Amino acid sequence: MRIVRTVAELRAALRDAGRVGFVPTMGALHDGHLSLIRAARAAVDTVVTSVFVNPMQFNDARDLEAYPRDEARDADLAASAGTDVLFVPSPAEMYPDGYATTVSVRGVSEPLEGAHRGAIHFDGVATVVAKLLIAVAPDVAYFGQKDAQQVAVVRRLVADLGLPVEIAVVPIVREPDGLAMSSRNVRLSAADRPRALALKAGLDAVAAALSGGAAARDAERRGADVMRQQGVDPEYLALVDPATFAPADDLTRPTLAVVAAHVGDVRLIDNLTIPAREEA
């Protein structure tokens, strides 16, 4: 595996690379990230993984400072999963002196995560993803389903800018007890770790309520009640359209149940795809 740190080095490394797959990450790699790399490895000639903790998408300086970083560990894991080129740019490489451009994706970026984390979050995501896709110029870029709203933002970005890249979405990877894998999980205290399962319990309760014929808003309330019974108060628990993230009322189409909550000092997100309800 080759490690490069500048866009010029990256482009040189990708000359005659064949079909390129790209996995953008912020490091602190876990099995969820590795599942993306393995999916790329099985489908393309050259796999590029990036590790860049993007300061533009953090609205809380403390969260940015606390984000785990271990380049040597990330490099070992990325190589073992099949990465050919590891791109590890510095903030100065991505945002040099005089940098003045922000990419904003309106609509899908505004509710839920956008409302709770502020416009700066998805503006930062859209900007760095656009820059990375331009730098790598991959045939396929791989994203995890856990960050479902981010995926929707990226799909809109790619469609609107006409970027010649396929977006592949890989299913959520979970711990044996059902907790969605996240780089933030390592920050959960021993006491809070069991409480984190409330997010998946809330999603499962929504799915069960819908299977029993409940309306969308009633199912949302049921899921939130289950979470509170487990000691976790959701920031939001909602049924949404997977493409627009607008509230979902038409349950005869596939929908997405999405949830976010603080467990102790750690903010977690999760989601669950809900199959279309058969029309009566």
Beta pairing partners, 50: 24, 87
Contact present, 180 and 199 (Cβ < 8 Å): yes
Tell whether residue 183 is among the known ligand binding residues: yes
Please indicate, yes or no, if residue 265 is contained in any of the structural domains.
yes
Of the chain, the percentage scoring pLDDT greater than 90 comes to: 91
Give the closest residue to 77 by CA, choosing from 40, 42, 38.
38
- How high is the pLDDT of residue 68? 79
Please indicate, yes or no, if residue 97 is contained in any of the structural domains.
yes
Tell whether residue 56 is among the known ligand binding residues: no
Residues 45 and 163 in one domain: yes
Tell whether residue 237 is among the known ligand binding residues: no
Residues 102 and 216 in one domain: no
Tell whether residue 144 is among the known ligand binding residues: yes
Tell whether residue 195 is among the known ligand binding residues: no
Please indicate, yes or no, if residue 177 is contained in any of the structural domains.
no
Residue type, 110: E
CATH code assigned at 26:
3.40.50.620
CA dist., res. 207 & res. 220, Å (int): 9
Tell whether residue 182 is among the known ligand binding residues: yes
Residues 39 and 74 in one domain: yes
Residues 26 and 115 in one domain: yes
Q: What is the pTM of this model?
A: 0.95
Burial class of residue 100, CB neighbours in 10 A (0-12, 13-18, 19+): exposed
Contact present, 271 and 238 (Cβ < 8 Å): no
Residues 212 and 267 in one domain: yes
CATH code assigned at 195:
3.30.1300.10
Residues 138 and 190 in one domain: no
Residues 187 and 156 in one domain: no
SS3 of 270, please?
Answer: strand
- How high is the pLDDT of residue 129? 98
Please indicate, yes or no, if residue 276 is contained in any of the structural domains.
no
Active site annotation includes 33 = yes
Residues 235 and 146 in one domain: no
Tell whether residue 230 is among the known ligand binding residues: no
Pick the catalytic residue from 33, 116, 121, 262.
33
Tell whether residue 29 is among the known ligand binding residues: yes
Please indicate, yes or no, if residue 176 is contained in any of the structural domains.
no
Residues 165 and 52 in one domain: yes
SS3 of 113, please?
Answer: helix
Residues 106 and 130 in one domain: yes
Name residue, tokens 């049921």.
222
Please indicate, yes or no, if residue 152 is contained in any of the structural domains.
yes
Burial class of residue 161, CB neighbours in 10 A (0-12, 13-18, 19+): middle
Structural domain containing residue 226: 183-271
Tally the domains of the chain.
Answer: 2
pLDDT tens-place values along the chain, 280 residues long = 999 999 999 999 999 999 999 999 999 999 999 999 999 999 999 999 999 999 999 877 777 887 878 999 999 999 999 999 999 999 999 999 999 999 999 999 999 999 999 889 999 999 999 999 999 999 999 999 999 999 999 999 999 999 999 999 999 999 999 999 999 999 999 999 999 999 999 999 999 999 999 999 999 999 999 999 999 999 999 999 999 999 998 999 999 999 999 999 999 999 999 999 887 5
CA dist., res. 199 & res. 271, Å (int): 9
Q: Give me the helix-helix angle, 148-161 and 119-136, nearest 10°.
A: 60
Residues 231 and 264 in one domain: yes
